[in-house]
Amino acid sequence: MLPHPLDQTPDRTLVMGILNVTPDSFSDGGAHDTVETAIAHGRRLLAEGADVIDVGGESTRPGAHAVSPEEEQARILPVVEALLAEGAVVSVDTMHTATARAALEVGPVIVNDVSGLVHEPDMPALIAQTGAPYVVMHNRGNPQTMDALTDYRDTVEDVVRELQEVVDRFLAAGAAPEQLILDPGLGFAKAGEQNWELLRGLDRMQALGFPVLVAASRKRFLGTLLAGPDGADPAPAERDHATAAVSAISAAHGAWGVRVHDVRASADAVRVGSAWRGASAGAPGGGAA
Ligand code: PMM
């Protein structure tokens, strides 16, 4: 068993900083696509207050083209190795079991798999064998089909049930419940309003008893919310204040973590939300001291 990468973490909602080593991610594609620029950006995210760095080598935006596991590993493994050597907590954003395995050979990482386990049936066995923390994200279909798979009877109830089904597959493979982190998969097989329903229903997801990760950063539903009078969505990087607001709400509801591009704003926002959650509301009718 590898040491748990989250053995020493603060008692508040964590900030996971996004490091996409890809030429085509929807909001920052191409910005950090060499090993050196990616490592430098990872260091910057740590300095800004990231508790975890989420390193990804394959864009998951709707319609994105798949990357081979070999190409993905060539992009991310040197970055993972360098950040682990600097003492960072690292997660690896991958849908490929081979890439998760290769990263776990480099060192103890969290496996962040946005596939919803649709593609790779041997992921549960790897997670059970290694004891690695694993993000179970809700998803349907693949980047080509997910936008059409948004029929829900009750969005929160259906997502919670489908997440539980994936959790059960990991437990059946021998993974421990403590390894699993749940994620509603905002923007993945979700249409605009459904993302808000899931944020509003975070408590119902938390009731499953697992830590919950919220990844709203710069997503389309925030762009839609912030559209100007001309109806045009602001560019992804113009959605960072709204993202920080979601981070505060998530922390107030006790989320385990938020996954964001702009770490600095969310590092403050989770402190606000966690402080609000931790404060006593006082007795009804009690006066201010
Ligand atoms: N979204 C993206 C990538 N990875 N991981 C998790 N756990 N949850 C998400 O919602 C998620 C993710 C897509 O966004 P990006 O292209 O900005 O990384």
The answer to whether 222 and 239 are in contact (CB under 8 A) is yes
Q: What angle in degrees, to the nearest 10, is found between the helix axes of 192-200 and 155-172?
A: 70
Which residue out of 219, 220, 239, 264 is catalytically annotated? 219
Q: Is the pTM of this model over 0.85?
A: yes
Alpha-carbon distance of 184 to 175, in angstroms, equals: 20
71 backbone dihedrals φ, ψ, rounded to 5°: -65, -45
- What mean pLDDT do residues 112-140 have? 90
Identify the pLDDT of residue 141.
Answer: 83
Is the C-beta atom of 184 inside 6 A of ligand 1? no
Using the structure block, give the residue that is written with the tokens 């694993």. 134
Residue 9 CA, ligand 1 centroid: distance in Å: 22
Task: Give how far Cα 227 sits from Cα of 16, 191, 223, 231, Å.
Answer: 27, 16, 6, 5
Residues 22-56 have pLDDT tens digits of 865 545 555 666 889 999 999 999 999 999 999 99
Six-digit token string for 8: 């020493």
**pLDDT, average across residues 110-120:** 83
CB of residue 243 inside a 6 A radius of ligand 1: no
Split at pLDDT 50, 70, 90, the class of 246 is: very high
Q: What residue ranges in the chain does DSSP mark as E strands?
A: 14-20, 52-56, 90-93, 110-113, 134-137, 180-183, 213-214, 257-260
128-145, pLDDT tens digit by residue? 999 999 999 999 988 788
Q: Give the containing element (helix H, strand E) for 1.
A: none
pLDDT of residue 283: 80
Q: Residue 269: CB within 6 Å of ligand 1?
A: no
Reading phi first (left if > 0) and then psi (alpha if -120 to 50, else beta), residue 131 is in: left
Q: How confident is the model at residue 85 (pLDDT cuts 50, 70, 90)?
A: very high
Can you tell me whether residue 156 is helix, strand or coil? helix
From the CB of 175, is ligand 1 less than 6 Å away? no
Instruction: Spot the catalytic one: 101, 218, 239, 259.
Output: 259
Is the model's pLDDT at 4 over the cut of 70?
no
259 a catalytic residue: yes
* pLDDT tops 60 at residue 288: no
Residues 6+ apart with CB under 8 A from 207: none
Mean pLDDT of 62-89: 90
- Spacing, Cα 44 to ligand 1 middle (Å): 20
Work out the average pLDDT over 64-74: 87
What is the CA(200)–ligand 1 centre distance, in A?
Answer: 19
